[in-house]
Structure 1
Amino acid sequence: MTVIGIAADFDPPHRGHAYLLDRARDLGDEVVVFLNADYTAHHTPPLLPYRLRREIVLELGADEVIPVRGYHQRFPLAYTVPVRVRLMAEEGVDVILDAGPSRNLDRLREHVERVLEVSDLFSIPPNVPARNVVRWLAAVEYVNRELGTDVELLLIPELEGYSGRKIRAALRRSGYSPDSLRKVRRHLPRETFKKLERYLKARTPPIARRKELLDVLNRASSYELCSIAHLNTIAVREILRGRPFRSERQVWGALRRADYGSVLTRLALANTECRVTSDEIARIALSWCVERLVPENQSPDSMYRRDWFVAALSSHGVKARDADRLYKRADSYEEARRLARRRYGVDPGVPRFETLIGEARVSDGEYRPAISANGRLGVVEDGFQELRATAFGATLLRYVLDDPFVDAVIRVEDEEARLIVFPGDSP
């Protein structure tokens, strides 16, 4: 018996999804849909709640629907795709079915080989066509190799002209009015149209209700904002400057000023809404590394080594972008050190998980680092207390604060401030 698995949002289920399910039934004996339940793969609350999407998917031909929870409000897809591949393998899936480009697969596989070579699912260049397909192909091969599973990813041509993103955008522009469904009716199967119409008449969808998000952003202290994963120091500063926020659009504007793109903005807002912290992210990522679900160069330890390397070179006048590119060219940290010495005459040294970064006139103890609205680094003790950091200390602290996979505190003894890094674990 061949079990076909489909991983998707189905938000809302449209005719392209119905076509995918029809093909799945033709190709296998059983069709299991792994449905993102609480947050979508776009890192947003869904348009339709899980219960309704599950009902529609079963009516469209799935034999079973398995909810997938807790991933997309926390992690980028570079982490969650391998985890979902393992879940599907554990549930007996033989073939993962997806719609995508069936031509030029040889070209896509070149990118897959590169991803596997550098052991980093983040390494797919933004200009690569069908990046998500490359990510899934690489994740399937990685999980099969590391865990001994035998799952195949099969691509079928997309049914052109149908897009959940365009449907949601059309409904959003009309304020999610039931009358607006007429504009997208041709995209929706009868089962979806009827349930979606009744739902919109009865209530406002979760994606349009984000009052709690605004409450957190308007009330959180600077150190609380710094602890939220995927909010870097520039983003925190823009949030502190821009509040109070009265709409999500204003928040997007603040993050745009921090040079956030749309994907990172959605992920940062999901982290904020669910109060996802860097220590939680680091702890989960480490557990996935131990289970060999995350490629080596995505581990918290590896992330911190890169932070140290880039900070060391940046404090000697090297542009951060150039330092990061140099690091990614190397096959190991030692090779990156050799390249740095040869090109810039700078040795970044061996990363230390406890290092003196400056002085702080506060009581002895451990503090979470924070940033003020004017961009100054410090700690919180009866209000914000500025940190007098060395050039390297300030640069390293900013990189650690900006890295959602590295957790750290500042330990002060006799006014000496030391950065204590806990890659993958909380203090």
Structure 2
Amino acid sequence: MPQREGTLPVDFWTRPAVAAALATCDMAAIVEAVRLARGWSQADLARTVGYSQSWVSRVVNGQQSLTLDQVREVCERLGIPIHLLRFAPASPVSGPSAMSRPPVADAAGRTKGAGPTRRRDFTKAVAFAALPLPNASAVGDVDGETVATLRAIIGGQRRLDASSPSRDLAKAALAHLELSSRTLFRARRTPLATGIAAAASEAAGFAAWLHADMGDVGSARLFYRRAVEHARQSDSELLPVYMLGSLALFEMDSDDPLLGLGLAHEAARWLGAGAHPTARAWLSCVRALGHAGLGDAVSAQRELASAEAEVESSANTGPPWPWVFPFDAAKVAGYRALAAVRLRRPHEARSAFSEAFARTSPAPKQRSLLMVELASAHADAGDVDEAFRLASEALRIGAVYRSEKVINRVRRFRRDYRGPQARCVSALDEQLMALVTGRLGT
């Protein structure tokens, strides 16, 4: 029995000849193209569609007209995405939704009153959708430009994140995630679905990032899981790894290094043999934080050394999507500093932070988080004044951007401090009290 799925090339529906047949509703050409692409004889094709070989021969030779029900049946059995034909639903649409259905038109584009299901000539029946198929791959209002548009929106939102409070962006981010998810639903079972799934994954990942910054841990976790799910529906090998690794970092930041490390190891198993050095270096750094959080200095150092070797590789040229910026020695130094803080190695942490800050300038919210980490290193080293100066500045930035994540990190830093009640300590206490009571200016 011939196989009806899994053998068509990925670009099959956008090939010029197939695209032209879709655009002109040439069912004979479409069926024949599927047959040839799968290496079937006409007998194989006949067995698959459930008709006689003579009937199939007449169809592919243009001698047999099809009813709409037959077209739907053939498309279903051959795996032809019926939406690419702008085909009508199998049963009549009633109620308010019927108002949005396009009028029926004949081959010349003239509007007709009769429903398409009463026509036996296929080329007239499918012409009810008079609009052309952009790039031969449109699905309703979803076409070849949709993925680029969705990703451009998320790119703009990410740029705004560098200078805007997360709460100001959250509603727009959620609306974009809803739009991306609905678009993905409309484009399912089409060649466009994988690209739109990638855009939906990015949207979910950004929503997770914002909710983590707002201190809504439960929603952030939910959105990260959606990001991973959509990433696995995409055609990208690296996006699922990136999103699962991001979830791993989130769990580590939520004080569960064991779970985070397990997720990071799972992400590493998803990497292909020839993965880009950036992906391998980043995952090594993520695993290093997990090991450091568990107090395993040897494993953390091993992972960081592996990351350094990857970023120095001659193959580490140009960041692969979804990484936007190069993952270089400065990035590894930043992770080395974070690992040293978790391992309570203050001098190593301060040295690594100096190297990282000398080579890069993070956005304010990210910089404030790093300042809290650096404050912890100074406190462990006995430099209380500098530790609380950094924590105070981080809290000020957190208040300006209304970042619960930054504010909570500063509060945790204060709770963990067990040293003398110096003047700088009292000043931070007053700053925290003013923030809670609404007296701290933003």
TM-score for both structures, normalised by structure 2: 0.27
Q: More strand per residue: 1 or 2?
A: 1
Q: More helix per residue: 1 or 2?
A: 2
TM-score for both structures, normalised by structure 1: 0.27
Greater gyration radius: 2
